Amino acid sequence: MTKLLDAFKKRQSAMLDLLTALVERESFTREKDSVDRLVDFLEARFHSLSPSSVQRFPQSDVGDFLLAKWNETAPGNPFLILAHGDTVHPTGALSSMPIRIEDGRFYGPGALDMKAGIVIALEAIRALQQSGQLPPRPIHFLLNTDEEIGSPHSEALIKDLAADCELALVMEPATKEGAIKTWRKGGGKYTLTIDGRAAHAGIAPQEGINAIIEFAQQALEINKLNDLKYGTSVSITLVEGGSAGNVIPAQVRAHIDTRVMTMSAMEDLQAALTNLYPKMPGAKVCCVRGHQRPPMERRPGLFEKVAEIGERQGLTLYEGGTGGGSDGNFTAAMGIPTLDGLGAHGDGAHAPHEHVIIDSLPRQATLIAAILREWALGD
């Protein structure tokens, strides 16, 4: 066992205390006041680690964002640590899924996704700083609070910070198998609107244009865009239409969720979905793209480099990927080397059995500290 891992193992209970404090501060994305209480707590925590600066970005719709910088004036491109403070669990979830430790696992809402990731990154910085081993490079740590809704408010700030960074470290949980995420699918949301014409279903059905019948035909066409073998999925996930039981429906609205492995698949899908033509005379079909995250395509050589760093600490690393998106999708699509899934190991993100495998806390802190210390050596 190496010294770094030994030192972090001694910090395991301190890390669990911090994790408990973060999980106790429930932070559902849509509840700004409670998210801001977590942000207040973390702001103080950042200050306790003697950063060069801590900036708070006030938000009106979601919790405020925090940006802490160490070695602000050091030369070289910064490391960018990305973490989100929000969770998908509404306030009160703690009462139905209370914090508990069982069989080496820490249970609690948001523990895995990704409060443990925040703990790991803070602990890595603390240890490097106390031992005088922070790299002679700027380290930027961004905490946003809207990741679980696709980061609509923080996307611009993330991109701005990523533009000149050396490496983006995303503190999302590892895969269920404990692997680093080197690829993620991208995704886009679409809204399909079909307009027909209302008519009395008994007196004059022939005067109507049935938007549901038009939708049914479009749905079958849209379903054909699935190409699961190449990682493309197109799912109609929500439908609303019609106005009353005796009225030919004048309108249908549907939501479409798309996931892709590559930028080119994303562009092909967009072309197909925004060029749907009506099947029925007089019907109107309109499909509009909403929020979109580009895919994080696997970058050759990146995993190999981090695996070597891990190996020197006695850690064997694995790589994997996922269909879900993260803020790493934004940075990777900009061409910035991005390592994702660097947070805790565990299972049940977004679910009632969400938990962290406790001994992954010192393990991942070792990895983050080693990456920060050694990534740019020899540059």
- Which is closer to Zn ion, CB of 148 or CB of 214? 148
Q: Which residues between 169 and 198 bind Zn ion (CB under 5 A)?
A: 172
Closest approach, Cβ 114 to Zn ion, in A, equals 4
| 253-284 exposure pattern, b = at least 16 Cβ within 10 A, e = fewer | ebebebbbbbeebbeebbebbeeeebebeebe
Tokens of 371: 């990456």
Q: Select the span of 105-113, 225-233, 266-274, 294-302 touching Zn ion (CB under 5 A).
A: 105-113
Distance CA 334, CA 121 (A): 23
Closest approach, Cβ 115 to Zn ion, in A, equals 10
Task: For residue 88, state whether it binds Zn ion (rule: CB under 5 A).
Answer: no
Interhelix angle for 12-24 vs 3-10, to 10°?
50
- Which is closer to Zn ion, CB of 123 or CB of 147? 147
Q: Select the span of 165-173, 189-197, 220-228, 244-252 touching Zn ion (CB under 5 A).
A: 165-173
Q: Which of 180, 188, 185, 211 is nearest to 198 (CA)?
A: 211
- Which is closer to Zn ion, CB of 114 or CB of 168? 114
Task: For residue 113, state whether it binds Zn ion (rule: CB under 5 A).
Answer: yes
Give the E-state strand segments of 294-336 in sequence order. Answer: 319-322
- Which is closer to Zn ion, CB of 35 or CB of 234? 35
- Which is closer to Zn ion, CB of 114 or CB of 269? 114
- Which is closer to Zn ion, CB of 5 or CB of 114? 114
Distance CA 255, CA 194 (A): 12
Closest approach, Cβ 168 to Zn ion, in A, equals 15
- Which is closer to Zn ion, CB of 151 or CB of 232? 151
Distance CA 135, CA 340 (A): 21
Q: Select the span of 85-93, 104-112, 114-122, 368-376 touching Zn ion (CB under 5 A).
A: 114-122
Task: For residue 146, state whether it binds Zn ion (rule: CB under 5 A).
Answer: no
- Which is closer to Zn ion, CB of 172 or CB of 354? 172
Q: How far is CA 15 from the centre of its chain?
A: 22
Task: For residue 112, state whether it binds Zn ion (rule: CB under 5 A).
Answer: no
Q: How many residues bind Zn ion, per CB under 5 A?
A: 3
Q: Which residues between 308 and 367 bind Zn ion (CB under 5 A)?
A: none
- What region, left, alpha or beta, does residue 346 occupy, with left being phi > 0 and alpha being psi -120 to 50 degrees? left
Distance CA 113, CA 174 (A): 10
Q: Select the span of 111-119, 181-189, 225-233, 328-336 touching Zn ion (CB under 5 A).
A: 111-119
Task: For residue 114, state whether it binds Zn ion (rule: CB under 5 A).
Answer: yes
216 Cβ neighbours under 8 A, 6+ residues apart: none
172: DSSP letter: P
Q: Which residue is nearest to Zn ion (CB)?
A: 113
358 Cβ neighbours under 8 A, 6+ residues apart: 12, 16, 101, 104, 105, 106
Closest approach, Cβ 104 to Zn ion, in A, equals 22
Binding site for Zn ion (CB under 5 A): 113-114, 172
